[in-house]
Amino acid sequence: MSTTLKNKYDSIIFDLDGTLWDSTGNVAKAWQKAKEEVDYVRDDFTRDTVRSITGMTYKAIFEKLLPYLTEERREAFKAIAARYELETLHTVGGELYPELEDTLKYLSQKYKLYIVSNCQSGYIEVFFKTSGLEHYFGGHQCYGTKNLPKADNIRDIVNDHNLQAPVYVGDTMGDYNAATEAGVPFIFAAYGFGVVDKDQIATLNQFSELRELL
C-alpha cells in the first residue's frame, strides 16, 4: 500500500457503522422487537434491512423503510425503535472490526481522533461504553445532537477542535459526499456496507491498513 499519505494530516475523523463496528445484527433484533409492540408495521427487520440504510439519518431511515405510514405513526415507531436499539446495544454492543484497538492506539500517538456519525443521540456513547475505546477519541458529533447533515457535523468537529488538516474515513457514498462538502479528504473503508468509486484518496480493505497508510 502506498505511504504517500504519511505526515499529511493532523487528525482523523471516523464514521462509526461500517467503519469501526458492525451493529446491524443487533439493531435488527431491536427494531424487530419494536415492530412486535405495534400493529401497523408490515415488514420484518433483518440484518440486510439495516445494512441497506446504514449511513442515512435516523429520520430518513424510517421514511425509506416505512413510506406507507403517516408521519405521526412513523415518528412514534421511530421513538420505540430508538429506545430498543440503545437498550439492546447497551447490553450486547456490536462487532468491532479486527485489530480495531491496536490500530486506534497506534494512530492516537500521531493524530487526534474523532467520530462523526448520522446516528441518534446516545449511540456513539453506547459504542464507547461497550468497546471501552472512548479514551482514544478527542470528541464526537452525530445527527441526533442538532438534526444537522453530516457535512455540518464534520465542520463542527473541524472548527471546534481547530483541526488544520483532517481526513475522514467512511464506508458509503453519503460519507464521501459529506466529507467532500465539508472540504475534508476521504478514505474509503471498502470492508463496510457501501460502494465508493469516485475520488477517494485511498481505499482500505481492512481497518488495520490505516497503520501502514497513515
pLDDT band at 108 (very low <50, low <70, confident <90, very high): very high
CATH of the domain at 82: 1.10.150
> Quick one: 60 and 74 in the same domain?
yes
Given a contact cutoff of 8 angstroms between Cβ atoms, the answer to whether 110 and 12 are in contact is no
> What's the length of the chain?
214
> Quick one: 15 and 115 in the same domain?
yes
- Find the domain containing 49 and state its range: 24-92
> Quick one: 115 and 202 in the same domain?
yes
- Collapsing DSSP to helix, strand or coil, 200 comes out as coil
Considering the entire predicted model, what is its pTM? 0.91
pLDDT band at 57 (very low <50, low <70, confident <90, very high): confident
- 198 vs 127, higher pLDDT: 127
Average pLDDT over the chain reads: 94
Q: What is the mean pLDDT of residues 182-192?
A: 97
Asked whether residue 59 carries a pLDDT value surpassing 90, the answer given is: no
Sign, CA torsion 97/62/116/170: positive
> Quick one: 85 and 163 in the same domain?
no
> Quick one: 103 and 201 in the same domain?
yes
Asked whether residue 193 carries a pLDDT value surpassing 60, the answer given is: yes
> Quick one: 36 and 130 in the same domain?
no
Secondary structure element (H or E) that encloses residue 8, with its range: none
Asked whether residue 123 carries a pLDDT value surpassing 80, the answer given is: yes
Question: Which of the listed residues 92, 116, 146 is the one where a domain comes to its end?
Answer: 92
CATH of the domain at 168: 3.40.50.1000
> Quick one: 207 and 112 in the same domain?
yes
> Quick one: 51 and 127 in the same domain?
no
Q: What is the mean pLDDT of residues 188-197?
A: 94
Q: In 3D, which of 148, 210, 205, 208 has the Cα closest to residue 182?
A: 148
Please write the tens of the pLDDT for every residue from 14-29.
999 999 999 999 999 9
Please write the tens of the pLDDT for every residue from 26-54.
999 999 999 999 999 999 999 999 999 98
> Quick one: 171 and 205 in the same domain?
yes
> Quick one: 17 and 42 in the same domain?
no
φ, ψ (nearest 5 deg) of residue 47? -60, -40
Asked whether residue 3 carries a pLDDT value surpassing 70, the answer given is: no
> What is the domain count for the chain?
2
Range with the poorest average pLDDT among 119-128, 141-150, 199-208:
141-150
> In the prediction, which pLDDT does 143 show?
86
User: Can you state the angle between helices 71-92 and 58-65, rounded to 10 degrees?
Assistant: 120
Q: What does the block give as the cell for 126?
A: 453506547
> In the prediction, which pLDDT does 54 show?
83
Instruction: Please check whether residue 2 lies inside any domain of the structure.
Output: no
Contacts of 58 (CB under 8 A, 6+ apart): 78, 82, 118, 119, 120, 143, 144
> Quick one: 122 and 18 in the same domain?
yes
> Quick one: 110 and 18 in the same domain?
yes
Instruction: Please check whether residue 154 lies inside any domain of the structure.
Output: yes
pLDDT band at 198 (very low <50, low <70, confident <90, very high): confident
Asked whether residue 1 carries a pLDDT value surpassing 80, the answer given is: no
Instruction: List the 139-142 sheet strands across, edge first.
Output: 139-142, 112-117, 11-14, 166-170, 186-189, 202-204
